[in-house]
Amino acid sequence: MTDASPPPASRFGLAAKLFAVLLLLGAAGVLITGVLGYVRARDALREAIYNQLTITRESKAHQVSNYIRSARNDLRLLATSKMVIDAMRGFREAVDELDARPLPDDVRQRVVGWYEADYMPMVRRLLGPDAPLQDFLPVRPAPYFLQDWYIVQNPHPRDRRKLLDKAAAGAYGDVHATFHPLLRMAASTLNFTDLLLVDPRTSRVIYTVDKEAEFGTSLRAGPYRKSNLAAAAARCAEAPDPSRTCLEDFADFLPSDGDPEAFMAAPVIENGVVTGVLVAQLSIGELDSIVTGDRRWQHEGLGQTGDAYLVGADLNLRSSPRLFFEDRERYLAGLKGGQTSDADIEDIRRYGTPVLQQRADTAASRAALGGVEGTGEILDYRGVPVLASWGPVRISGVNWGLVATMEASEAFAPVARLQRDLLIVGAIALLVVLAAGAWLSRSLLGPLRELTAGVRRFAGGDHKAHVPVRTHDEIGQLCFAFNTMVDEISEKNIVIEGKNRENEELLLNVLPAPIANRLRGGERRIADGFAEVTVAFADLVGFTAMSSEMPPAEVVTLLNGLFSRFDEAAHELGIEKIKTVGDAYMAVCGLPVHVPDHAARMVRMAIRMVHITREHALEYKVSMKLRVGINSGPVVAGVIGKSKYIYDLWGDTVNLASRMESAGLPDMIQVTRPVYEALKDQFAFEARGEIEVKGKGNVEAWVLRL
């Protein structure tokens, strides 16, 4: 859309022109007064309505684009998370183990019985009575086990199957019990209808949150190989590109009872290889909520008949029209004899949505899908004259258009009333015409000027622009609708800013703030040398032997609690945690921002860590001691990794700190000469003498007295 500069200001405002015209009309007679008043009022009102429809349409198109963009970012971030990578690996291994098992007859019989009694009646209703059962039955043992555990024997009803965390003993049950609550919460938090994991080796759906009939089946050779789910998963499995997402437009999806569904996929990459595909099922309800403004059409200035809807490249709707929600029977009756067939009308009634079922083949729809923005008076899909504003919704992967309309009868109702009033006024004396002209100048054009100024302020970037609502007529309603629209856009901007802050916090949890700022600034190769920092390594003595006798969940809980307390201490002392490897903890002080007392801070951190470890061991009633090694000197630090960042250190200083830890004693803190020399006046050290260090020979070491 090209930018247009506003016309130059006139010496005489619109109020003065209207007043002068009314004077001439009063002198010329009733006929000229009625005609010119009617034409001017009609044009002004039509332009205001077109502006309102265009503002509404552009706002909703922007919100739809932001919703898809946010879904892409959320899915891409989720696919690169350690949780999803670990879940993908665990589910793949567990499904392979299930395929190696012999399939018991009772499991097969239960699954076949479920297909015959519950699933195939729906399939045959949609595809015809001759749809063969064999085409939909699983092929290998794994899907039989999975569907038996999580669908057939699931104690919850269909719409609550996802509440079952663990259905059976064994590897798959353990992996499912670990990751299903997290993935279920992720789907709910991100407003995805479902989350699925697909194994690219076999194209099988090895996990879903909702547990529908596609669970365990192959998207390459199974009954859903031609679905948009299969297309999204196949496209995103082609290359290990962590920035890639694959969006497939709405299409009928048989496992959801034939309801229209849209899918978005992202590759799950581990060690540069696509190990899986994470697929999200998008919510029709979310799109309906955006396009209908949570069904508050009048609050958005669309009056009694105003509407907005999405249309796809096939000229079928992608969102539900207003009348579908307000009066469904009248809506369905209005479709008969139009563009929508009787079969599609029945499908709308059965599925409870007109998405993909109702056609909207209008001049506005075709122009919007062709990438053209515009306004005009057209016949809508019911054959009713409407004022419309149309334009494309710019989303990669789909071709959608958005149309905002208002019935001409409602749009021009004020004009009809004005025409009647002008005929009455024209019969009155010239003095009454003059008084009416003055009144119209104040009451009609004043709010319009304020509204125009408000629109200009809004277009200029003032997203808190409001106009006073001085009347309760249509223009007052228009001013009120403009204020409501501005408030809603401001609220949505706050939500978007909140999402950005969440992403910022996530990045700061991975990298130090100065390094994160450099990455956001476009710097890709970050490597710095630091002349003087202090590095510490800590390791739990005997933790490996102790953890081998504990359940995995208790090991994780114990270690997570301990390291979380270490992290709190590091934050208080201004120390950067670099990483944890198993039961080892590495930290540094003095970078990326230099502090003069880095060695003292690190020794205080080590003392806290020893005390914390003792307290933690007492709380959990385990035998656990900490060994700490500290060294000061120069290091090189930088960011490595592409799909998963890590900030790491290199150099002899790091290696010697590690050797100080490995050659240390339990419940002791061992330091090198640079640390001793810097802190001998602040802390009590005891010389340990020389110890042999691999690659360094004999090195002097001191032990801190605790």
| Domain residue spans of the chain | 14-49+414-495, 81-241, 513-704
pLDDT of residue 503 exceeding 60, the answer is: no
Question: Which range in 26-35, 495-504, 689-698 is most confidently predicted, on average pLDDT?
Answer: 689-698
236's tokens: 């995103």
Q: Which residue has the tokens 């005009």?
A: 376
DSSP per-residue string spanning 449-507: HHHHHHHHHHHTT-TT-------SSHHHHHHHHHHHHHHHHHHHHHHHHHHHHHHHHHH
Helices (H) and strands (E) in the chain, counts: 24, 17
**Could you give the CA distance from residue 36 to residue 44 in angstroms, rounded to a whole number?**
12
- Please report, to the nearest 10 degrees, the dihedral formed by the alpha carbons of residues 304, 305, 308, 309 taken in order: 130
Length of the chain: 706
In this prediction, residue 501 carries a pLDDT of: 65
Say what the pTM is: 0.55
Q: Span 513-704: which CATH code?
A: 3.30.70.1230
Give the pLDDT mean for 436-458: 70
Residue 510, pLDDT above cutoff 70: no
Average pLDDT rounded to a whole number, residues 253-259:
89
Task: Provide the pLDDT for residue 7.
Answer: 55
Q: Are 647 and 639 in contact (CB under 8 A)?
A: yes
Residue predicted with more confidence, 336 or 588: 588
pLDDT at 26 over 80: no
641 pLDDT more than 70:
no
Q: Is 4's pLDDT higher than 50? A: no
Q: What is the pLDDT of residue 397?
A: 84
Distance, CA of 214 to CA of 176 (rounded, Å): 17
Question: In this structure, what token pair is assigned to residue 138?
Answer: 């699983």
With cut-offs at 50, 70 and 90, classify the pLDDT of residue 497.
low
Q: pLDDT tens for residues 190-221?
A: 999 999 999 999 999 999 999 999 999 999 98
User: Chain-wide mean pLDDT for the chain?
Assistant: 85
Phi, psi (5° rounding) for residue 135? -65, -20
Say what the pLDDT of residue 2 is.
46
State residue 447's pLDDT score: 73
**Does the structure show a pLDDT above 90 at 82?**
yes
User: Who contacts 477 (Cβ-Cβ below 8 Å, separation ≥6)?
Assistant: 301, 303
∠ CA 16-17-19 to the nearest 5 degrees?
A: 65
Measure the CA–CA gap between 263 and 227, rounded to whole angstroms.
Answer: 10
Q: In this structure, what token pair is assigned to residue 78?
A: 């989720």
Greater confidence, 582 or 585? 585
